[in-house]
Every structure is written in structure tokens, then in C-alpha cells.
Structure 1
Amino acid sequence: MRLIQITDSHLYADKQARSRAGIPWQQFQRVLEAVITERPDVVVFTGDISQDETAASYALACEALSALPCPWFWIAGNHDQPELMAAEHPLLEEVDLEQWRLLLLNTQVVGKPHGELGSVALSALAERLEQDDRPTLIAMHHPPVDVGAAWMDAIGLQDRDAFWQLLSAYPQVKMILFGHAHQAYAQHHQAAGTDIGVYGCPAMADQFLPGAEQFAIDEASRPGYRVVDFNAHEWQTWIERVVV
């Protein structure tokens, strides 16, 4: 099975609106065109679909995503309006991937750049993991780890310690995909006596400079997406970049 992660398109209702280093709609189109050529079985969009938080920006995204040759799913980022998203396309919590499960977590804290699951969502996650021991992939917007950029690490998942403590009881969790950081990331985190692959993804829009103490754009990097190929027992994952 092939899953592709896209993230952080930061679209405006105006297709010609500019971001710091490009035009988000053009960047979105180029990435989506490349994703389609990968022949994915499923696409997951890990948040910050919109920058201006308008209904029109989500309608624009959905119209373009309808060209995908497979089912696609999305979650809200800190810039998003979940109600407007849900009016265009469902916000699901779980997807059956046959031999695997995909769990989609909402880490948004309304009005704040950082993320948090909270005790209620953590309890619900534990209940879902108790119900099924198939290999599990978790998708979320905010990084549950430090990515090495001080300013970004300060606005990641705030209750990450509780999240990792919970996962220590569930060895079926194999992978975590996150957005928000606008950069590639790949590490293994020890939990439940096993290694969990933790992966970040380039943004569809501007890229952030890895290792920066303060906010900075990475003008040398291009938009991209993450490919995950997996079967019942193993997976491979890598990043693809797109010329805009």
C-alpha cells in the first residue's frame, strides 16, 4: 500500500495571493500534480490547509483534491477552521487501511500556534488502541518531538510527555506523521520496547530553515511530500521535492 502525506498548503481564497517565498496556490498545484503521478492508495493532509481561514480556501483545496485517484483525509492545523473544513469534506478520526489502521488526531488549540491533545483525547486514543492491535499509523499536525529549531520546538505538542507515556503501552503503533514544521524530519523514538518511526514533511508552501533559533525561511528548499510504502510487516518512507 502507498500512502502519501501532504501538509501546510496555507491557501488563500485568492489564487494569486503571495506568501513569503511563493504563491501558495501554484505551489499546491505543482505538489498535487506530482502526488497524482505516484499512484497513491490513500493521501493524508496533516493540517494548515488555509492561511486566511476562509470557506473559499477550503472549497478551492477540495476541488483540486478531487483529482486524486484515491481516498484522501485531512486534519486541522493551528491555522484552520474545522467547521469550515467539515462542511467541505469529512473530518475523520480513523481510517481502515486493511492490514493497518490510520488514526487522525486533532492537536489544535484554538487561537494558539502550539498543539495539545488534552486528557480527554488521550483517554480516547488509549481506548482505540485497546480495541485493535493491528499495526497503527498516527497522523497529527503538531510535532510530538523536538525538530531542532528552537522557535518551532516551543510551539510543538505541549503534552508530548503524556502522549509518549501512553504509547509505551501499545507496541502496535509503528509510525507517526506530523506537519507544522515545514521541513523534512525522520527519527526513531523508543516506546513500548520498540522503535516508532517519527516523520515530518516538507510544506506544500514555504519551507522553514532547519536548526534555526528564530523563525526563518529556507529559501534553498522546495515544496514536497512524503511517500510511505508499507505491507503487513514493514515500511519504507522518503521525501520527494517539487520544482515550482
Structure 2
Amino acid sequence: MKTALIVRHVPREGAAGFLQPIEAAGYHIERVDVAGDDFADVDLCAPDLLIMMGGPMGVYEADVHPWIPVQIDKLADRLARDRPTLGVCLGSQMIAAALGARVYQGGTTELGFAPVTINANGAGSPLRHLADVPVLHWHGDTFDLPDGVDLLASTTSYAHQAFRRGSNLLALQFHAEMGEDPRFEDWLTHFWADLDGAGACRHALRRDHEAHGPVAVAAGRMMIADWLAGIRE
């Protein structure tokens, strides 16, 4: 059986809605937490599929989180081998850093449900399933577009919302996996500083989560299933 490894930067940010298409594609899923003592010994090149999820930390905070450069070095090795890799939010920023791009604070917090604008490259990609679908955004960092990748989607606040390289690499700044996971309540509780910074209302976010979440997750699952079907072994 094919193996998939999910890298969790915090326990409350898992693969959520993406689990279904990953399992349906025949992958046996394992998980590793970056804060665990065994993370330094994990071979990120070994699994058939690597999924890196989000987290509240910044790629530039290696002084606070010493696992960050370890992960970036391991990830760079995997990407050099063109091994299938998916990154979400912080995971996408990790990919950008591993490809040599700058990751930095964007100056504004993008938070809430809103669609991404899919460009010509994205229209022919798995992101086509997200056309006009409000998905969850929750970040304040961004990155320069790495060399050799195709930009797929943007928003007004942040131009670099999704990119891919060939068939085996997909990076998503937004959270199309979230919309039905009860851990959303943990986000509202633990990431309160983001809410305050964005001037966002918990009650409004709950309403939007209920209204848009199931549609976003359904579209996100189709996107991931489409991408997995196109992976080159």
C-alpha cells in the first residue's frame, strides 16, 4: 500500500476534509508532530506522499522553533527528487522556503471565507473545482513566488494563493480542507489574536462556517482527488 505522511505543526491543524480523497486514492496515512522528539529522525523523502499542514508560527521564526530549518532542509531534499508533496498554509510557505523563496509577514491578516481568483494556469488545474467557492483564509504571512512554478490563484489581499510545479507539487495558502471539522472551534479559541488583528467576529465566522463550509470541503476534496490522480510516480 502507498504511504502518506501528514506533518502537523500544531495538533488542531490536521488534514481534515482532505483525509477522504487521500484514503480513497489508496494511501495508508501516518502522522508526525514537529514538536515530537522523533521528528529530527523522520525521513521526509520516504513516504509516497507528503502533506504539510498549517500552524500559527512563521517560517522566519527558527529562533523560537528550531525544527523549522530541519524541516526545510529535509523538504528541499524531497522536492529536489520531485516526490509528491502537498502544502497547506504554513505548509505552502515551507515549500516556498525550501525552493529558495522569501517568506515574510504580509502586513494584513486575511481571515474568513472568500473565493480565490483562479488564473489561466489554474483553470486547467485541479483548482478549477474551487471556482467561485468561498474557502477559509487564515493567515498573515506570504512568500515570493519560487522560480520554476506556476501561479494558480490569487486574492485581492495576497497575490500568491496557490502554485504548483509539474504534477507532483501543489501548494495552497488557503484552507479548503476546513469547513466540517469540529476543530474549527479550537481555532476560534486559540487563535484569538488573529481575530482581534483582523477585526473578525467569532459569531460571524461560525455562521459563515456553517453556510460555506460543506461546499468548500466538497470542492476541496474534488481538487485533491484530481491532483492525486495526476501524480507521476
- TM-score (norm: length of structure 2): 0.36
TM-score, normalisation: structure 1: 0.34
Q: Which has the higher helix share?
A: 2
